[in-house]
Structure 1
Amino acid sequence: MEAINQLWRSRCSENFRRQLRYWNLIGKNSGLMFFVYAMILAGAFYYKKWLDSLPAHFPGGLLLTLLFTLLVVPSPIRTFLQRADCVFLLPAESELNSYFVKSCLYSFAMQSLLLSVFLIISAPLYFQQSGNSETAYLIAALAIFAAKGWNIYCHWREQRIDETKPLIILRTFLSFLLLFAVLNGMRWVAYLSCAAVMLVISFLLFEKQAARGLLSWERLIAMETRQEMKFLRFANLFTDVPKLRRHVRPRIWLTRFVPARGFDRNEVYRQLFLKTFIRADDYFGIYCRLNIIGCLTVYFVSMGIWTLFLIASLVYLTGLQLLPLWRYSFPQALEGMYPVKKVYKKKAFTRLMAGLLAAESVLLSISGLLADCSLLNLLLYLISGLGVSFVFVFGYVRHLFEKEGTQRS
């Protein structure tokens, strides 16, 4: 038993040291901290202005319910399992109860930190829209943490159940009802009834089905890998992560629109980077999501001339997200097929980045035009977005090239 506890502590400590090392590199080697500070200051100012402009009938309680439901229901569990554990730890599964209990408690603690941040941010909206006291919000916060703990417990029991989609839908529905009751000031009978139903469901449905199943080690390891890769991909935006696993998706419906058009020196890396952007990892998905979120933010949070700063920040953030494309390791059969100089690779990358950021600048500017219907502001939005694109590509990216060349020489 002591060996099992020591195994969990050593793996947790190793994970903590690795993340701390990457956070240290992120803080030193990028403009992330400045960007975060600037966004916090600007967000706090305009959050207050947005609250003051809300009508009395604004459904703040429903909005908070949806937000916290999205935060509470997804409950991944960090087990720190490794691929080899399927062989070496599987025979000791009956002795791993304390190991997995520690994993669930650790996951609850880490996810509760994120919930605490959103509870602090959401407090002004709650008090303004509901008019309730601090005690009511404290009760709501306790209910949110309880719902998170219940979802982690249920998610752990799901690791022994084959068909989990109906159970996830049920968890989502019950969590929504409980949070809606406590965040909208309903009578205590309502949320106590929801809590009672959740407890009954836990024992009659999750516990009984899990008792008849076997622990899915493959699913546990896949879940742990996703959690680890999520942080490593984030760290890879700012520094090299040598052990990052790559994923390639076919996306035939999209790649057919960008076929190979030439094989001269100017085309080799342009086609490699374009195909990599579309198919490798999640670069294309990140780019699309940032554009959609950015357009909606610019449209609904119209801040007049200060929208320039918002558009510039969104374009800069997208550039940081796409920057790891430069360090993507192409297969030797592709990259080393032709004797192409490095200068063509740099040129292809800068052109792709410039085109993607310029397209985003145009989309965000059009969204700003739809919000305030001002051609002058449209021109200013374009100048802001395209200006940041130009500085990022031909300033920051060029500096990155020179820095890499200096280090290798």
Structure 2
Amino acid sequence: MADIISNFPNDILCYILSFLPSQQVVATSVLSKRWNLLWRSVHSFDFDFGYHGRSIDTYEVDYYRFLFSMSSFLVWRDRNQPLHRFRLRCRSIFHSTSTCADIFNNFTSKSIKTAVSGFGRVQHIDLNLDSQMVMPSVVFTCKTLVVLRLAHITLSEISFVDLPSLKILHFDFVTVSEDLNLSQLLSGCPNLEDLEVKNMVCESKGTFVRLPKLVRASIDEHLLPLETVKNVEVLFIDWVMPPICPRNLDIDFLNLVELQLIVRFREDWPGVLRVLKHCPKLQTLVICINKINPELFVASYKEEDVRPYQQSVSACISSHLKSCCLKGYSGSVDEFQFARYVMENAKYLRTMKICIFGGKINMIRELFSFIKRSDICTLSFGYG
């Protein structure tokens, strides 16, 4: 059988290899002389080390082999070739010991600086480290950076942010030092399109700049004023309810077509309805029901205890909603009532999905008995 792929130009082969983990990329060097040095020109650094599924007897040896393989990759690769992507996930049990942590953090910091400076021209940085490593400040002045995803890392001593090409910014379990705040970080990202900030420890102070090109946002509500995300098309938000602060309800989300909210108490549902009145073009609604003990909610009150909704039907429900999903549905009366409300009023609804969490069978059956406003609506069930 002819080896067709080896006849491709080096640029195409390197592009294909850039989608593989770096250790697999290096392994291709044994295929033939044609592939012997090809890995050195690949434009990505992609390493992943986890502790799950590893033998405790060989764990330490595996960990240091991993560090050695990362170091060798950077030492032997062609330094005249740019690094476009730098991805590192290292969840090590040794990060709790100072020596191992220092070795890893120093190496990672130097590697990131190499990727950003000189011939680096890095476009994509993705780090999930499970450590207290401080992100090199030089990253925040990288004019070529398009994607920045950080998890379990610390930001400190960042005096200036200038990321004119950045389109995707995701922070998860990121700790920001007292001398920094989120508004300062976002001020240097004028072309941001996708923003995700959650599980963060930081100050929310200063005047937040408008992000005119922002399309998608996933945020913890206390971290950002809603003015910052009011023009997005897709919004996932951990909204603290009840009560919803009146200032939040003054904001209209005129471009919003997809919304995901979290409900923790039965009293949250009227608040959800008030929010929907400010989303006139909404087409997709996902409600994540996250009650502490849903079984207690089912047994703690009777159906007659739940009062009918007093608000008029919002424009998005009556004229635009096409898809609705209730996750964590336990069959409590408040959940049942909201599901019925949507199906009886959404005349363009196409799909209604109920993801069950310990729901009562009789309430699930009753959902099928509703007279649906939409003739094309499909009711389906799942778990979760």
TM-score (normalised: structure 1): 0.26
Higher strand share: 2
Q: Structure 1 or 2: larger helix share? A: 1
Between 1 and 2, higher relative CO (CA 8 Å, sep ≥ 6) is seen in: 1
